[in-house]
């Protein structure tokens, strides 16, 4: 699972860079899904990896991954969670253009509904759902990031999907 060599020291530039490359995007997305704020996500990545560098002598490469998630998470611990989330997704248009205009319109409508309901989900459900669906993270990995059991992640996943279905079908 770990892409870094455990024998190496995080203080070494190469090791640090490889840890960064392996985890920075997920840290970014993780914070982005939570708050729907790109700037905060960028700041979190910075903060987490600068802290990792400062403590590179104390943190083993094996622990580095959970370390950066903890730092990123703690950074916004006190941020008001009620902040309205408006997630934007980079790729909104369909790749295949040989579909009928009606179909494309329907698809886009559906996407809009999905976006809205996702934004309305509780933060932990949304984050878990998107990490799994968009980033392809396993429940186990998400459990490690969030510091909860796999079962709790399964529950969130289940509830997220259930709520999405209920709300989209309602609209």
Partner 1 sequence: MQENHLAKWLNNELSESELAEFKNSAEYASYQKIVAVSDTLKAPDFDDEGALLAIKNKRELHDSKVVQLHPFKKFIRVAAAVAALMLGSYFYLNSLDENITTQYAESRLITLPDNSEVVLNAESNISYSEQKWDADRNISLEGEAFFKVAKGKRFTVATKNGTVTVLGTQFNVENRNGFFEVTCFEGLVSVLHNGKETKLPAGNSFMAINGKTISTEGPSANEPSWMHNESFFKSVPLKYVLDEFQRQHNIIVATDNIDTDQLYTGTFSNTDTDLALQSISIPSQIKFKFEGNKVLFYVNKQQ
State the Cα–Cα distance between residues 43 and 74, nearest whole angstrom. 12
For tokens 């590179």, the residue is 56
Among 111, 123, 144, 148, binds partner 1 (CB under 8 A): 111
Query: Do 3 and 18 touch, CB atoms closer than 8 A?
Result: yes
Cβ-based nearer residue to partner 1, 39 or 78: 39
Q: CB of 7: closest distance to partner 1 in angstroms?
A: 22
Q: Is 57 in the site for partner 1 (CB under 8 A)?
A: no
| 2 binds partner 1, rule: CB under 8 A | no
In the bound state with partner 1, the residue whose beta carbon lies nearer, of 26 and 78, is 26
170 binds partner 1 (CB under 8 A): no
Give the helix ranges, DSSP H, for the chain.
Answer: 13-35, 38-54, 61-75, 101-120, 123-133, 139-146, 150-170
CB of 69: closest distance to partner 1 in angstroms? 16
Backbone angles phi, psi at 76, to 5 degrees: -110, 25
Instruction: Please give the full DSSP string across 116-136, using - where no structure is assigned.
Output: HHHHHS-HHHHHHHHHHHTS-
Given its phi and psi angles, is residue 136 left (phi above 0), alpha (psi -120 to 50 degrees) or beta? Answer: left
Among the listed ranges 1-9, 35-43, 61-69, 77-85, the one in contact with partner 1 (CB under 8 A) is: 35-43
Give contact residues for partner 1 (rule: CB under 8 A). 17, 20-21, 24-25, 28-29, 32-33, 38, 41-42, 45-46, 49-50, 53-54, 88-91, 94, 107, 110-111, 114, 129-130, 132-135, 139, 151, 153-155, 157-158, 161-162, 164-165, 168-169
């Amino acid at each position: 699972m770990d892409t870094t060599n455990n024998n190496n020291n995080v203080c070494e530039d190469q090791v640090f860079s490889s840890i960064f490359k392996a985890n920075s995007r997920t840290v970014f997305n993780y914070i982005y899904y939570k708050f729907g704020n790109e700037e905060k996500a960028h700041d979190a990545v910075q903060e987490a990896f600068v802290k990792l560098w400062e403590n590179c002598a104390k943190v083993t490469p094996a622990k580095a991954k959970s370390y950066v998630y903890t730092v990123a998470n703690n950074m916004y611990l006190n941020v008001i969670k009620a902040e309205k989330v408006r997630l934007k997704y980079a790729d909104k248009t369909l790749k295949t253009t040989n579909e009928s205009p009606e179909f494309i319109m329907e698809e886009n409508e559906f996407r809009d509904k999905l976006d809205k309901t996702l934004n309305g989900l509780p933060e932990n459900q949304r984050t878990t759902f998107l990490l799994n669906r968009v980033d392809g993270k396993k429940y186990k990995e998400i459990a490690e990031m969030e510091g909860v059991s796999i079962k709790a992640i399964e529950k969130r996943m289940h509830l997220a999907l259930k709520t999405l279905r209920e709300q989209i079908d309602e609209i």
